[in-house]
Amino acid sequence: MCYGLSRADTGELLNKIDSGCHLPFDEFILTICQLLLRSNHMSSAQEITRKAKSNLAFALSCLPKQRKSDMVIFYAFCRVVDDLADDLDVPYDERLLGLNQWADGIDKGFENPTELQQEVMQIIDRYSIPKQPFLDLIDGCKSDLDPQSFDTWDELQKYTYQVASCVGIISIRIFGCIHPDSEKYAIALGHALQLTNILRDIQEDLSKEGRIYLPKQDLTRYHYSEKELKLHIHNEQFIEMMNAHADRAEAFYQEAMGYLREEDAKALRAAEAMRKIYHRLLIKMRSDKFQVFTQRYSLSKARKTSILISSLLGK
C-alpha cells in the first residue's frame, strides 16, 4: 500500500497503472494527488494543486496527512504568486497589484482575506514560520514581472535564493525538521533545483518576453552571445557553458546531501524525492549535451515511480 493512501485508493491507482496509463505522466501525478487529497477539505488550495503539473506535486505523496495538507496549501500559494509573475495574458498592473497584496497581507495582515490567504496565515502561525522567506519569495516573483538579466552569478544566486531556497526554508518547517543543518540543506537544494530548471527551460524562458537567466559574465567567459542564444545556436561554446552551470548545480546537490542529518531524514523524504528527480534530470541533460532548444527534458513514468518508492522507503 502506498504511504498516505488507503487500500481502496491504492487499488484504484494500481488499476490505472495496469490499464496502461497512456495519459501524459503529469496526469498520473495529478491522479496521485487527487487520491491523496480526496479525504481532506482543501477547497481552493486543493483545486490549485490538482490543476498544477509538477514534480513537487508528485513528491507530496511522501508526507503524513496533516503535513501533506499544509504543504498543499503552501504549494497553492507558490503557484498563485508564480502565476502572477508569469501569466502574460493578465495585465501588468493587475499582476503587480496581486503580488503587492500578498506581500502586504503576510507582513501586516489581510483586511478581507480569501480562503487561501487565511490558510497561509494559519500555517505561518501553526509552525512559527518567519514571514521574511515569504516576502523574499514574493520579491523574487516580482522581479520576473519585467524582462530581466543578470550580470553575474552573485546576482543570479540572489534570485535563486528568493524563488527556490525560500521555498525550502518554509517547507522544512512544515515537514517538521528539527536539526539546524536542515535549513542549510534547504538553501543548497533550492539553488540546485532552480539552476536545473534554468538549464532545462532556456527555450521556454526565451519565449516569455525573451527572458535569459544565464549571467552575462558567463556568456562572455565562454564566448557565447545572447544573440546566439536567441537564435538557438548549439555549438561547443554553448555546451561548455552549460556544463559549467551544471557543475555549479552539481556542487549544490552535493552540498545539500552533506547537510542531510539522520534526525530529519524521515521528514525530508519529500525533499529527497525532489532532489533525486531533478538531479537525475541534470545528469540526463548533460549526457545528451543539453539539447534544450529542441526538447524539454523529463523523466519517464517508471523512473519517477522508482524514485518515489525509494524515497518512501528512506533509501
- Which tens digits make up the pLDDT trace of 180-237? 999 999 999 999 999 999 999 999 999 888 899 999 999 999 999 999 999 999 999 9
Q: In whole angstroms, how far apart are CA 163 and each of 24, 85, 173, 248? A: 27, 11, 17, 17
- The three-state secondary structure class of 311 is helix
Helices 65-86 and 166-175 pack at an angle, to 10 degrees, of 160
- The three-state secondary structure class of 143 is helix
* CATH 1.20.120.140, domain 147-315, yes or no: no
Q: Above 50 in pLDDT, residue 86?
A: yes
Q: pLDDT, tens digit, for every residue of 100-141?
A: 999 999 999 999 999 999 999 999 999 999 999 999 999 999
Distance between CA atoms of 110 and 141, rounded to whole angstroms?
Answer: 20
Q: In whole angstroms, how far apart are CA 48 and each of 29, 79, 150, 188? A: 14, 7, 31, 27
Element (H, E) at 76: helix 65-86
Note the pLDDT of residue 135. 98
Distance between CA atoms of 26 and 1, rounded to whole angstroms?
Answer: 21
Q: Above 90 in pLDDT, residue 18?
A: no
149's CB contacts (< 8 A; 6+ apart) are 212, 216
pLDDT-derived band at 308 (thresholds 50, 70, 90) equals: confident
What are the φ and ψ backbone dihedral angles of 125, each rounded to 5 degrees?
-70, -40
Domain boundaries, the chain: 1-130, 147-315
Note the pLDDT of residue 130. 97
What's the whole-model pTM score?
A: 0.82
Q: pLDDT, tens digit, for every residue of 274-299?
A: 899 999 999 999 999 999 999 999 99
